[in-house]
């Protein structure tokens, strides 16, 4: 008995700590799988012993809502939902009644209040008793009606979610200093619980209504389905749901399961509610659950496998993410061999070691996760050095979640953008190395410095197995890298990403120093200021860049890999000197308009964006076109020439 009590106390502590991280910070320090398992164990023990400790998560919430947002108590407590993983249990629960089965959306639950047809309040679920007031943020949700035709007091609940597609896009763009968000739920929580609603507005948050709490004077004919229809008629997007009876429930669950993969919004199961409102309400509630509805969680397909490696991948925020690599297994129809471990707390809780036998599943049928570690050897070392720059790492503990960081400001992982510039068209022009690919190669330590781009051949075996890569795209990339070795000093200088040195400044500077790189790199600020078009700020940045030993090392390493073709000012070549061109419409012989521009500039000409009296030629293959540029050219008497005529001119 005593050992059971001890275990119960231990479970309560662990669950409380996890729930705090999960609800306050949208972080996971143990997997949902583990959380649910420990929770079920606690429920079992409470049944066996007939004891429920004060503060047990089975009857109450053990955490406060902590944030700088204003707080408010809910008029109706926001309960959790009882759960089952069995379809048969759903059918039994429904009995002879009709129900509505809908997605259990995985975002942030919000209660909205409308008065006089206007949205007056939005509050998060918080801990179910107290929530945070986020009214101004809610007003930026993409599909939320701000005014409705019903003038009484309306209270409804729904889920704020961020779609997978938006999650990917937003995560790419989020400020470097902002930590990367791990999943749409995490991003949604971070976006909705903002002090500044401008940020929320940029995050494309959608709202799906799932329950009507109050709308006096409207006759819903005692039907939840009628309420859903009414909400839709008010302009709300209502979560997708289907009417079911015990005979049809199995095929409806199957329908939902098939639908998941196409779903752009995250869900973590289904919810079944009685259509008969008064019947449902007559059932009352337990301390934690209403009795008129029940959640269905997917019975995850779980496979046993062996942990072969943990990959530590540094990110542009400095965060180093652990990823488990295991012997491939088939899960829900696809082969899986990797799963994010999220943070150090998860690694520690799982007591991982290489060679351990682990069980894996796909959370919500989509994201691979480790469920349990069966052998718990706990011998996995946490890296003391960054996989990218080898600087010492630190473990930061933020609100009970431990995470590993590289704190080196110069770490290449933090400089993905500069590499993106290096490979861009106007710089070294390397095709097939997207920002995402570069980031990945950096994060797993294949690219540790820029010059490593020229050594990718050595990592062919690894790269061809990467998502989106195959033999062919690898070869194309290699060809492009080889081609880029031959370049000129202007492109090279621009590719270094020296602050404020764009392509045109690079040209001016190179020209001034006779296109000789050795002279260019030793240029002094006072010499640079003399160049027309180069200001003091640019000059200082330029000088400072080449005063740094580390930068010179980077440059020297690159010079070993590339060849700078001679560039001389050749008067004959400058055949377009003094001429100004405008290019419009599509081109056929050049790859694109930028290439035409490059040729013009190479030959001393200039390209501008709009036709003025100073324009010498408008290049346009569609001479008859009525575009504004054509009209303007005709007006001003500027000759319009085709691409072919331009080539002839050369
Ligand atoms: N990993 C962790 O450390 C950790 C910690 C705590 C909780 N959890 C996870 O959270 C779960 C418990 O979460 P909970 O108690 O917040 O919520 P729940 O799973 O009991 O779900 C209830 C909530 O679902 C929402 N919902 C979404 N769509 C709905 C719909 N169509 N109809 C009705 N309600 C809908 C509502 O807000 C409702 O309050 C656990 O099972 C666990 O998986 C994980
Ligand atoms: Zn580093």
Domain boundaries, the chain: 2-49, 71-296, 303-406, 412-484, 487-565, 580-649
What's the pLDDT score for residue 296? 97
The more confident residue out of 293 and 540 is 293
Q: Is there a common fold for 71-296 and 303-406?
A: no
- CA angle centred on 614, ends 608 and 620, rounded to 5°: 55
More confidently predicted of 249 and 535: 249
Nearest CA to ligand 1 atom 17: 80
Catalytic residues: 104
Determine phi and psi for 563, rounding to 5 degrees.
-125, 125
Q: Which pLDDT score is estimated for 175?
A: 47
Tokens 């990917």 — which residue? 168
Ligand 2 centroid to 355 CA: how many Å?
A: 27
At 327-352, the pLDDT tens digits run 999 998 889 999 989 889 999 999 99
Residue 144 to residue 166: CA distance in whole angstroms: 17
Confidence grade of residue 455 (pLDDT, cut at 50, 70, 90): very high
Strands (E), 256-356: 267-274, 293-296, 303-314, 319-331, 334-340
Q: In this predicted model, what pLDDT tens digit does every residue of 408-447 receive, in sequence order?
A: 888 888 878 788 889 998 899 998 888 888 888 887 788 9
> In this structure, which long-range contacts are made by residues 605-608, counting pairs with CB atoms below 8 Å and at least 24 apart in sequence?
605/576, 605/577, 605/578, 605/579, 605/580, 605/581, 606/579, 606/580, 606/581, 607/580, 607/581, 607/582, 607/583, 608/580, 608/581, 608/582
Q: Which ligand is nearest to the CA of 15?
A: 1
- The pLDDT value recorded for residue 502 is 83
Residue 163: the pLDDT is 93
pLDDT, one tens digit per residue, over 213-245 is: 999 999 999 999 999 999 999 999 999 999 999
The residue whose C-alpha atom lies closest to atom 38 belonging to ligand 1 is 80
Q: Is 122 in the pocket of ligand 1 (CB under 6 A)?
A: no
Cβ-Cβ contacts under 8 Å for 201 (sequence gap 6 or more): 140
Q: Which residues are annotated as a binding site for NAD(+)?
A: 80-81, 125, 159, 297
Residues 6+ apart with CB under 8 A from 621: 585, 586, 587, 588, 642, 643
pLDDT of residue 41: 96
Q: Quick one: pLDDT at residue 174? A: 59
Ligand nearest to C-alpha 405 = 2
What number does the ligand 1 atom closest to the CA of 103 have? 31
Nearest alpha carbon to residue 277 among 218, 233, 360 = 218
Mean of the pLDDT values across residues 25-48? Answer: 90
> What ligand 1 atom has the least distance to the C-alpha of 289?
20
pLDDT in the model for residue 179: 52
Q: Which ligand is nearest to the CA of 313?
A: 2
Residue 636 alpha carbon to ligand 2 centre in Å: 57
Q: What tokens were used for 97?
A: 């009644």
pLDDT of res. 567: 77
Superfamily of domain 487-565: 5' to 3' exonuclease, C-terminal subdomain (1.10.150.20)
Burial class (CB in 10 A: 0-12, 13-18, 19+), 17: middle
128-173 tens-digit pLDDT: 999 999 999 999 999 999 999 999 999 999 999 999 888 877 776 6
- What are the pLDDT digits (tens) for 544-554? 999 999 899 99
Domain 2-49, CATH: 1.10.287.610
Expressed in angstroms and rounded, the spacing between residue 443 Cα and the centre of ligand 2 is 9
**How far, in Å, is the centroid of ligand 2 from the Cα of 343?**
17
Task: Please state which of the ranges 158-167, 353-362, 504-513, 622-631 shows the lowest mean pLDDT.
Answer: 622-631
Higher pLDDT, 381 or 650: 381
Q: Which atom of ligand 1 is nearest to the CA of 78?
A: 39
CA pseudo-torsion sign 316, 319, 320, 322: negative
Contact 582, 607 (CB under 8 A): yes
| Bridge partners of residue 285, in order along the sequence | 290
Q: Per DSSP, what are the bridge partners of residue 73?
A: 130
Q: Establish whether residue 372 lines the binding site of ligand 1, counting it when its CB lies within 6 angstroms of any ligand atom.
A: no
- Return the pLDDT at 241: 97
Tell the residue nearest (CA) to atom 8 of ligand 1. Answer: 32
Residue 573 banded pLDDT, cuts 50, 70, 90: low
Name the fold adopted by 580-649. Answer: Rossmann fold (3.40.50)
Position 187 pLDDT exceeds 60: yes
pLDDT range class, residue 395, cuts 50, 70, 90: very high
Whether ligand 1 lies within 6 angstroms of the CB of 33 is answered as: no
Q: Which CATH architecture has domain 71-296?
A: 2-Layer Sandwich (3.30)
- Six-digit token string for 535: 């200001």
What pLDDT is recorded for position 300? 84
The rounded radius of gyration (Å) of the Cα atoms in the chain is 31
Residue nearest to atom 35 of ligand 1 (CA): 104
Q: Residue 571: pLDDT above 60?
A: no
Mean pLDDT to the nearest integer, 609-638: 88
CA distance 213 to 388: 53
Asked if the interface predicted TM-score (ipTM) of this complex is over 0.90, the answer is: yes
pLDDT score for 569: 61
Distance 28 CA to ligand 1 centre (A): 14
**DSSP-assigned letters across all residues of 372-411:** EESS----PPPPSB-TTT-PBEEEEEETTEEEEEE--TT-
The CATH number of domain 303-406, selected from 1.10.540.10, 3.40.50.2300, 3.40.50.1970, 2.40.50.140: 2.40.50.140
Q: What is the pLDDT of residue 176?
A: 38
Which residue owns the Cα nearest ligand 1 atom 6? 19
Closest approach atom of ligand 1 to CA 80: 20
- 292 CB under 6 A from ligand 1? no
Pick the more confident residue, 603 or 146.
Answer: 146
Domain 412-484 grouped into CATH 1.10.150.20 = yes
- Per DSSP, 101 falls in state E
- Give the separation between CA 294 and CA 92, rounded to whole angstroms: 12
* pLDDT tier at 570, thresholds 50, 70, 90: low
Cα–Cα dist 76/125, whole Å: 11
What integer best gives the mean pLDDT of the chain?
Answer: 90
Q: What digits encode the pLDDT tens for the residues 456-513?
A: 999 998 888 887 788 888 999 999 999 999 999 999 999 998 877 888 889 889 988 9
Are residues 171 and 187 in contact, defined by beta-carbon separation less than 8 angstroms?
yes
pLDDT for position 393:
95
Residue 370 to residue 357: CA distance in whole angstroms: 11
Token pair for residue 228?
């859903």
- pLDDT tens-digit series, residues 307-319: 999 999 887 778 8
Task: Show the 3-state SS of 54-88.
Answer: CCCCCCCCCCCCCCCCCEEECCCCCCCCCEECCHH
């Amino acid at each position: 008995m005593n050992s059971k009590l001890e275990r119960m106390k231990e479970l309560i502590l662990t669950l409380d700590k996890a729930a705090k991280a999960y609800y306050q910070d949208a972080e996971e320090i143990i997997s949902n799988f583990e959380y649910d398992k420990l929770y079920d164990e606690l429920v079992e023990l409470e049944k066996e012993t007939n004891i429920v400790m004060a503060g047990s998560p089975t009857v109450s919430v053990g955490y406060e809502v902590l944030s700088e947002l204003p707080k408010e108590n809910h008029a109706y407590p926001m309960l959790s939902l009882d759960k089952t993983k069995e379809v048969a249990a759903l059918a039994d629960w429904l009995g002879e009644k009709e129900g509505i089965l809908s997605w259990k959306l995985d975002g942030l639950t919000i209660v909205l209040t409308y008065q006089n047809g206007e949205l007056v309040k939005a509050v998060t679920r918080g801990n179910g008793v107290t929530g945070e007031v986020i009214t101004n943020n809610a007003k930026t949700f993409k599909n939320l009606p701000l005014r409705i035709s019903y003038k009484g007091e309306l209270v409804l609940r729904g889920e704020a979610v961020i779609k997978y597609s938006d999650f990917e896009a937003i995560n790419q763009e989020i400020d470097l200093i902002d930590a990367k968000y791990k999943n749409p739920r995490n991003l949604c929580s971070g976006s909705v619980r903002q002090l500044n609603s401008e940020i929320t507005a940029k995050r494309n948050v959608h709202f799906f209504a799932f329950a009507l709490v109050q709308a006096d004077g409207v006759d819903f004919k005692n039907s939840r389905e009628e309420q859903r229809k009414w909400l839709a008629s008010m302009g709300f997007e209502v979560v997708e749901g289907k009417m079911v009876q015990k005979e049809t429930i199995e095929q409806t669950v199957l329908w939902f399961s098939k639908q998941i993969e196409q779903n752009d919004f995250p869900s973590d199961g289904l919810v079944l509610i009685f259509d008969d409102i008064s019947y449902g309400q007559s059932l009352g509630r337990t301390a934690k659950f209403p009795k008129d509805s029940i959640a269905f969680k997917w019975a995850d397909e779980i496979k046993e496998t062996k942990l072969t490696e943990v990959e530590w991948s540094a990110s542009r925020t400095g965060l180093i993410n652990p990823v488990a690599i295991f012997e491939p297994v088939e899960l829900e129809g696809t082969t899986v061999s990797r799963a994010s471990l999220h943070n150090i707390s998860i690694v520690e809780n799982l007591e991982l070691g290489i060679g351990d036998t682990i069980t894996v599943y796909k959370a919500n049928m989509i994201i691979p996760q480790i469920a349990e570690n069966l052998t718990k050897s706990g011998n996995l070392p946490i890296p003391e050095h960054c996989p990218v720059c080898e600087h010492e790492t630190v473990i930061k503990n933020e609100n009970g979640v431990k995470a590993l960081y590289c704190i080196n400001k110069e770490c290449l992982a933090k400089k993905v953008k500069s590499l993106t510039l290096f490979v861009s068209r106007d710089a070294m022009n390397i095709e097939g190395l997207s920002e995402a690919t570069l980031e990945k190669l950096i994060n797993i330590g294949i690219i540790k410095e820029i010059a490593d781009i020229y050594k990718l051949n050595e990592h062919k075996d690894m790269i061809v197995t990467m998502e989106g890569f195959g033999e062919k795209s690898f070869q194309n990339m290699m060809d492009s890298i080889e081609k880029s070795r031959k370049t000129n000093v202007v492109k090279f200088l621009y590719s270094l990403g020296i602050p404020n040195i764009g392509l045109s400044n690079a040209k001016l500077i190179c020209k001034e120093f006779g296109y000789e790189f050795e002279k260019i790199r030793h240029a002094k600020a006072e010499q640079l200021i003399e160049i027309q078009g180069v200001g003091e700020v640019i000059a200082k940045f330029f000088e400072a860049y080449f005063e740094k030993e580390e930068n010179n090392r980077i440059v020297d390493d690159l010079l070993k890999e590339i060849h700078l073709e001679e560039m001389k000012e050749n008067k004959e070549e400058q055949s377009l000197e003094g001429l100004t061109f405008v290019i419009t419409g599509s081109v056929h012989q050049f790859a694109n308009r930028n290439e035409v521009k490059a040729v013009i500039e190479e030959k001393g000409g200039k390209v501008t964006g709009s036709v003025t009296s100073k324009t010498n030629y408008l290049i346009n293959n569609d001479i008859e076109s009525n575009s504004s540029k054509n009209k303007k050219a005709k007006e001003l008497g500027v000759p319009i020439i085709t691409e072919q005529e331009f080539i002839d001119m050369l």
